[in-house]
Structure 1
Amino acid sequence: MKFTIDWNDGAVVLVDQTRLPHEHVVLRLETVDSLVEAIQRLRVRGAPALGVAGALGVALAAKQFEGERERARAVQLLRTARPTAVNLARGAQRAAALLPSFDAVLAEALRIRDEEIASSGRMARRGADLVQKLCGDSPRLLTHCNTGGLATVVDGTALAVVFELHRRGRLGGVVASETRPLLQGARLTTWELRRAGVPHRLAVDSAGPFLMARGEIDAVILGADRICANGDVVNKIGSYAHALGARAAGIPFICVAPESTVDLGTARGADVEIEDRGAAEVAGSTAPEGTDAVNPAFDVTPAELVTAVVTDARTFSGRADGPDGLAVG
């Protein structure tokens, strides 16, 4: 399969990320309900990929339902399947604006897919230039969660920058943070890095700030699920801790995300609904039966801790006034 998510002969096809790294399984989804289930169970994840999923889901709705009420219900299910990442709702809304025409909706969904593919290449080049400018040659980078082609359609966001530095022969190595509790870094990022031949090591999440303090990391580079109007970055839980570690160590903290993840309609991170995924993922079989847990899937890194945000169109400083702030590259 060429892309992480795509349309094929009347169905959404996607890589089931819950089966990696041990099995590479491609799902074929022909109903809105099956796609919503895949989104909620993280079979497909990552802000750009979710934007494409939302748009392709509307194409499924246009194909599956004839009534306006049924289609509207399907669009609402898609928009709200996961509340934190802005791309999902934005992709669904953009495609839904062309209902009831199936052909027009599908064309728009595939346009969104192609836009995300093109943006990955631009982010890779822009981000690699910035990392070299800030860190010199052979930087040692720490990543968090998964930001490669699995999180987009192909190539990725922050990992696309890593791959570009590797192609240039200008990468000193990568530490992948495991990303508790679902281990997207351990399961998915290491899988992508290995396939690309990028030298890397895996670390528990809490080791990141200590490795920075010990001088083993030159910059933190990660993605985003939403970038607010003031420059606050909403990303996978654990990102904030890495930002604090980077500030204490005096190293750059760089966010790489497409323009489709910038949400000028949300003033600040405190206004974002943070998804809590319940106790089972945390307590599991390791804690005593009946143990409750708090399990936020995302956190908010304040703009003042963000050295720079790299999109497919620009680079701006999180330490200015958000997305219209100081250009740094």
Structure 2
Amino acid sequence: MTAALFQPIQLGQHVLKNRIVMPPMTRSRASQPGNTANEMMARYYAQRAGAGLIVAEGTQISPMAQGYAWTPGIYTPAQIDGWKKVTDAVHAEGGVIFAQLWHVGRVTHPDNIGGQQPISSSALKAENVRVFVDNGSDQPGFVEVVTPREMSHDDIKQVIEEYRQAALNAIEAGFDGVELHAANGYLVNQFIDSEANNRTDEYGGSLENRLRFLDEVVAALVSAVGADRVGVRLAPLTTLNGTVDANPVETYTAAAALLNKHHIVYLHIAEVDWDDAPDTPVSFKLALREAFKGILIYAGRYDLEKANQAIDAGLADMIGFGRPFVANPDLPLRLEKGYPLASHDPETLFGGTEKGLTDYPVYSR
């Protein structure tokens, strides 16, 4: 009998060849100027098209949405053309690829957004958070983020429209769907989590109000490209980039129920993945499964055994493997055959050239 991870699964209009997800991982290799995806990135993703689903690295939906130097965008014609190289290469290898739509909100610095002040749900600085900027060398320079300004109602309307247009651009670029990045302390997360949102209008205060921005963005994405081409990533228990919620189980169970009403194709849960991090409680996973009826993806510290157990137990439908995909372009084959996994070079994760991106070999005996 085929192990759970290697069984096909229906995701929207696609029958995926396995239940392995390559989740989004920032690599900061976009061509400058213009933050455009390129042939190097196309090779990188095509090498990893053995995954049932690839979710491409976070791609900013506007100039103001950028948090780090050298990340790709999806708001100009040149950026759409750049991503076409990537999607064509992945499709040529039989892969399925979604774009991750990204607005970092306050997790940036004026140097990355044309000198502007960042925007967020509230004028609250993300404490002890640093981002990297282009300091004129091929090594990023890290700087502390600044205090953002609270978004006005016009700002909110504008950003929702930017998300909608970015989804249309992604489909034009050949992506099979889009994933809303609502995790890891970025803009949508800054509305959801209670300690990052001190608004007193309809977008702050109560749980229903804090979920309103998520609700409206997802509605815009679904109206633009269809629910069967929209996924959402959440990170319920992480405190990345300074976002903390006072009652994450209640908040994110409600978020899952809200997303279920939109009939999106999947919900992608990023679990805490540092070495001594606590496991997500099974009771919480059961509550999410009850609240959300679409495809459930989990990512964070999974190995083959844990992945198969999660699928067999009905807690997950697909599993994301992040860092292992960096140095193992043929990761699905290695997992299936029991081949050893290579380790990545942490010095080449962000920025640079082909080294540490496309030069990891497939396994050979």
* TM-score under structure 1 length normalisation: 0.27
Bigger fraction of residues in helix: 1
Under a length normalisation based on structure 2, what TM-score does the superposition of the two structures give?
Answer: 0.25
